[in-house]
Amino acid sequence: MKFFDKYKWSKYLLTLVLTTGIFAGAVFLSSYINQRKLENIRELQDRVATDILSSETQFDLVKDLSCEDVGNTYLSKDMSDLAERVAYTEENGTSPADSLELKKQYSILQVKDFVISKQIAERCNNLPVTILYFYTDKESCPDCVKQGYVLDSIRKQYKNVRIYSFDTRLDLTTIKTLKEVYGIEDQLPALVIDGIALKGFRSVEDVKSVLPSSVTNAVVQ
């Protein structure tokens, strides 16, 4: 024992305290920043919710608006941005409970946006075309990953397509109802394109073949 310096153990202990402090500080700071990020996403979500509510209200009030105006005015442009943020938070967030809650709220917003999109489509030459996408985790559904890539590609190519993704693991009656309405059972991935249910993986070409020409002719520049 004589070979230890005078302050041998206290130094090891001090180092332990400092290192633990560094980690605790990092965890605290990380948690603080991530809460700010969640707040930021919630603000975006609130904005989308307000957009949707506003659209519903306007839609009821102004029945004779032209279809061009409808397309540009009613549907929230923040949906895809919100989708990316929610997905990122789910993968990288530090609070799974908060991420799950965020995802549930986002799913409900999607349903509301889907309903209003359908109403617009009924009045305006069946545009935009809506795609409902039901998926689950990649371990139990490897094709869901590929289907996600396909839909991502479709979304980037065609401006008159609105895609709504639903994680079937979420305990939401809204999603269960949608699945029942379109006869989606456990065969995932599953798509509903303009009311037609397609079960199992569908390639880009498969999806394109189902889309009306009014959609495929209007590509994103």
Partner 1 sequence: MSLTSFATYAITFLAVYVQVFILITFFERRKELKEQTSDERPPITHFPSVTIIMPCWNESKTVHGTVESLLALDYPKDKLFVIIVDDGSTDNTWEEMQIYKDHPQIKIYHTENGGKHVAVNFGIDHATTDLIGCLDADSFVSSHALIDMVRIFNNRPEVMAVAPTLIVHSPKNLLQWVQKVEYNMSVYLKKMQAFLNAIHVTPGPFSVFRKEVFEKIGKFKKAHGTEDQEIAYRMQENHMRIEHCPTAYVYTVTPDTVKKLYIQRLRWIYGFIQNTVDYRRLMLNPKYGNFSFFTVPAGAISIVAVVYLFSATVYNIIVYIVETVTRWSVVGFAGTMPTFQFDWLYINTKALGMVTILLYALVLTSMIIGSRIAKQKLSWHIISYMLVYSVLAPLWLVRAVWNSITSKQPKWR
User: What is the token pair recorded at 77?
Assistant: 């442009």
Residue numbers 35-54 binding partner 1 by CB under 8 A? 37, 40-41
Q: Give the distance, in angstroms, between the CA of residue 89 and the centroid of all CA atoms in the same chain.
A: 10
| Single-letter code of the amino acid located at 7 | Y
Which of 39, 152, 180, 186 contacts partner 1 by CB under 8 A?
Answer: 152
Nearer to partner 1, 30 or 177 (CB): 30
CB of 15 to partner 1, least distance (A): 5
Q: Which residue has the tokens 């549907």?
A: 75
> Sign of torsion, CA 104 134 112 87?
positive
Is 67 a binder of partner 1 (CB under 8 A)?
no
Q: Which residue has the tokens 């190519």?
A: 157
Is 203 a binder of partner 1 (CB under 8 A)?
yes
Helix (H, G, I), strand (E, B) or coil at 75: coil
Q: Nearest 5 degrees, angle CA 66-CA 72-CA 75? A: 110
> By CB under 8 A, which span of 60-68, 89-97, 112-120, 129-137 interacts with partner 1?
89-97
Calpha distance 190→186 (Å, rounded)? 9
Nearer to partner 1, 69 or 81 (CB): 81
Is 80 a binder of partner 1 (CB under 8 A)?
no
Calpha distance 157→159 (Å, rounded)? 7
Nearer to partner 1, 60 or 91 (CB): 91
- The pair phi, psi for residue 170, each rounded to 5°, is -70, 135
Which of 46, 156, 181, 219 contacts partner 1 by CB under 8 A?
Answer: 156
Which of 69, 149, 180, 195 contacts partner 1 by CB under 8 A?
Answer: 149
Q: Which residues bind partner 1 (CB under 8 A)?
A: 1, 3-5, 8, 11-12, 14-16, 18-19, 22-23, 26-27, 29-31, 33-34, 37, 40-41, 85, 88-89, 92, 94, 145-146, 149-150, 152-153, 156, 203-204
